[in-house]
């Protein structure tokens, strides 16, 4: 959530940033926020003045009664009663203004970093780099949704989508035999690599309350994309980012604990409402999937260096998996609601002849921290440390379904599917046949 002080002091910057995001009615919304903010501050000043007068009158009453001036004391009591009524009315007006201000403020997305390119859709994203040679497959090579039918246990598929439909519905596959073992191998590999890189592992809940969803920006923006447990008022997590970042909600972190680096594996749940077409076949888009997530909390001056480090880390995983990939800098119209800058990593699917997104790495600057009230008292060497909001970052490292799809498709041969060398010690086999 943007800070009102920042909007007041940087109106033109905010308007330019919202324009880059193609945010509808940006001038009207910003003007509404500034008007409400001025009303709030004027009402607060008036309330403070009335309360000060009321306290002064209350002190006078005792002195007047003590001196025997009952007439003046009764007049002061009447004035005090009027001031109490006025203060009550002002407090209610202030509450209503603050509610309206908050309701408008939560609809405003984060301001893009200066390096974010303008644009309206994924077609306008900037290709930062491309790495690795695209494999040439043998004649008769197939996409993973056909390939899995050949290699499962007991004559069944390696990944059973129909069985998942029977148990739960479309988008909830069942991994079987070597498919299940390969899933577990990737999870353990990703976690081990994160530990080597200095991330501390946590295993968070996979359901969160409304405050947690609000803190990281999923609510109210993505409410329709989340599964909701009605009776308990809990949301199934769309990513481990939500519970891990919320570990630090309402926390003042000592400066000496920064940076915070966490990693966690969780299943993730997304309704993916409105998704259809050939591009969502097989593992390309699911309602439930596994993901390892990295989360960082940084001093503001260090967060963009941390973002580049996270990008390099994710790229290192893709290199170890021997997958050709490219890095995109998302344009203003394709970024997530809370992000200031996002890099997407996409791997090449040789059988589908298309790029598949497997990771997003984002810097949210203070946007989440303002909602979370996540702060630190940082010593700048010019006196006592001042309390300030921290920067939060997160990245997929990695999401499993499309990684698995690319491994199956890119490594298929007439004799079976080759397993990347780094995964062999984890899964116990070097080929699926």
Residues 55 and 204 in one domain: no
**Residue 210 falls within a domain, yes or no?**
yes
pLDDT of residue 210: 97
**414 is written with which tokens?**
């007439």
Residues 259 and 178 in one domain: yes
Domain end residue (candidates: 41, 70, 105): 105
d(CA 287, CA 268): 8
**Residue 110 falls within a domain, yes or no?**
no
Residues 36 and 155 in one domain: no
pLDDT of residue 13: 97
Domain containing residue 306: 122-432
CB atoms within 10 A of CB 295: 28
pLDDT of residue 278: 55
Residues 129 and 259 in one domain: yes
Residues 138 and 98 in one domain: no
> What CATH number has the domain bearing residue 94?
1.10.287.40
pLDDT digits (tens, 9 = 90+) for 89-125: 999 999 999 999 999 999 999 999 999 999 999 999 9
d(CA 62, CA 60): 6
pLDDT of residue 277: 55
**Residue 115 falls within a domain, yes or no?**
no
**Residue 113 falls within a domain, yes or no?**
no
d(CA 222, CA 245): 17
Residues 82 and 130 in one domain: no
pLDDT digits (tens, 9 = 90+) for 209-241: 999 999 999 999 888 899 999 999 999 999 999
Residues 79 and 131 in one domain: no
**420 is written with which tokens?**
């990347």
**329 is written with which tokens?**
């800098």
Specify binding-site residues for ATP.
270-272, 357-360
> What CATH number has the domain bearing residue 240?
3.30.930.10
- 247 DSSP 8-state letter: G
Strands 416-418 and 386-389: unpaired
Closest alpha carbon to 286 in 188, 165, 184:
165
State yes or no: pLDDT of 73 exceeds 60.
Answer: yes
Domain end residue (candidates: 74, 105, 136): 105
pLDDT of residue 78: 87
Residues 231 and 354 in one domain: yes
Coil, strand or helix at 415: coil
State yes or no: pLDDT of 309 exceeds 80.
Answer: yes
> In 299-428, which ranges are E strands?
325-329, 341-349, 354-363, 375-378, 386-389, 391-399, 412-413, 416-418
State yes or no: pLDDT of 275 exceeds 80.
Answer: no
Distances (CA, A) of 204 to 228, 262, 264, 293, 330: 18, 11, 7, 11, 29
> How would residue 384 be classed by pLDDT, with cut points 50, 70 and 90?
confident
Specify binding-site residues for L-serine.
239, 270, 293, 394
**403 is written with which tokens?**
């990684």
Domain end residue (candidates: 73, 105, 137): 105
**Residue 264 falls within a domain, yes or no?**
yes
State yes or no: pLDDT of 274 exceeds 80.
Answer: no
Coil, strand or helix at 235: strand
State yes or no: pLDDT of 288 exceeds 80.
Answer: yes
**174 is written with which tokens?**
């069942």
Closest alpha carbon to 248 in 176, 290, 298:
298
**Residue 176 falls within a domain, yes or no?**
yes
Over range 143-167, report the average pLDDT. 95
**Residue 116 falls within a domain, yes or no?**
no
Q: What is the number of domains present in the chain? A: 2
d(CA 156, CA 332): 45
User: Do 117 and 332 touch, CB atoms closer than 8 A?
Assistant: yes
130: phi then psi, degrees, rounded to nearest 5:
-135, 135
Weakest-pLDDT range from 52-66, 179-193, 351-365: 52-66
Over range 154-160, report the average pLDDT. 94
> How would residue 380 be classed by pLDDT, with cut points 50, 70 and 90?
confident
Residues 100 and 139 in one domain: no
Specify binding-site residues.
239, 270-272, 293, 357-360, 394
Residues 57 and 139 in one domain: no
**Residue 401 falls within a domain, yes or no?**
yes
State yes or no: pLDDT of 393 exceeds 60.
Answer: yes
Residues 68 and 129 in one domain: no
Average predicted confidence (pLDDT) for the chain: 94
Residues 160 and 201 in one domain: yes
The answer for residues whose C-beta is within 8 angstroms of residue 143's C-beta and 6 or more apart is 281, 282, 349, 351, 352, 409
State yes or no: pLDDT of 190 exceeds 90.
Answer: yes
Closest alpha carbon to 259 in 320, 173, 200:
200
The answer for residues whose C-beta is within 8 angstroms of residue 169's C-beta and 6 or more apart is 287
> How would residue 374 be classed by pLDDT, with cut points 50, 70 and 90?
very high
pLDDT digits (tens, 9 = 90+) for 20-72: 999 999 999 999 999 999 999 999 999 999 999 988 888 787 777 777 777 78
């Amino acid at each position: 959530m943007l800070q009102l002080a920042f909007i007041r002091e940087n109106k033109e910057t905010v308007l330019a940033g919202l324009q880059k995001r193609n945010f509808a009615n940006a001038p009207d919304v910003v003007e509404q926020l500034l008007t409400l903010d001025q009303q709030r501050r004027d009402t607060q000043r008036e309330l403070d003045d009335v309360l000060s007068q009321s306290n002064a009158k209350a002190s006078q009453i005792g002195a007047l009664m003590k001196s025997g001036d009952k007439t003046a004391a009764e007049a002061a009591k009447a004035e005090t009663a009027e001031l109490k009524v006025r203060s009550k009315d002002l407090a209610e007006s202030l509450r209503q203004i603050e509610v309206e201000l908050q309701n408008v403020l939560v609809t405003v997305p984060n301001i893009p970093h200066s390096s974010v390119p303008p644009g309206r859709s994924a077609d306008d994203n900037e290709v930062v780099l491309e790495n690795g040679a695209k494999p040439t497959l043998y004649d008769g090579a197939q996409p993973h949704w056909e390939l899995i039918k050949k290699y499962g246990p007991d004559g069944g598929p390696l990944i059973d989508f129909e069985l998942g439909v029977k148990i739960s519905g479309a988008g909830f596959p069942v991994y079987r035999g070597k498919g299940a073992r390969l899933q577990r191998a990737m999870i353990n590999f990703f976690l081990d690599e994160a530990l080597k890189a200095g991330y501390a592992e946590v295993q968070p809940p996979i359901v969160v309350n409304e405050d947690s969803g609000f803190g990281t920006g999923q609510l109210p923006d993505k409410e329709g994309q989340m599964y909701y447990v009605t009776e308990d008022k809990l949301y199934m997590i769309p990513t481990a980012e939500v519970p891990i970042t919320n570990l630090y909600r309402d926390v003042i972190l000592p400066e000496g604990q920064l940076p915070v680096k966490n990693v966690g594996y969780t299943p993730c749940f997304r309704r993916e409402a409105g998704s259809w077409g050939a591009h969502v076949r097989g593992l390309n888009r699911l309602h439930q999937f596994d993901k390892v997530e990295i989360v960082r909390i940084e001093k503001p001056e260090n967060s963009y260096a941390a973002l580049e480090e996270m990008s390099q880390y994710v790229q290192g995983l893709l290199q170890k998996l021997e997958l050709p990939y490219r890095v995109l800098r998302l344009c203003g119209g394709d970024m997530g609601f809370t992000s200031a800058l996002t890099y997407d990593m996409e791997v090449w699917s040789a059988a589908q002849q298309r790029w598949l997104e497997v990771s997003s790495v984002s810097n949210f600057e203070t946007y989440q921290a303002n909602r979370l009230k996540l702060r630190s008292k940082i010593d700048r060497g010019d006196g006592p440390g001042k309390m300030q909001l921290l920067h939060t970052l997160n990245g997929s490292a990695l999401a499993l379904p499309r990684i698995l799809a690319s491994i199956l498709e890119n490594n298929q041969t007439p004799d079976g599917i080759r397993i990347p060398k780094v995964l062999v010690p984890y899964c116990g086999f070097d080929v699926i046949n």
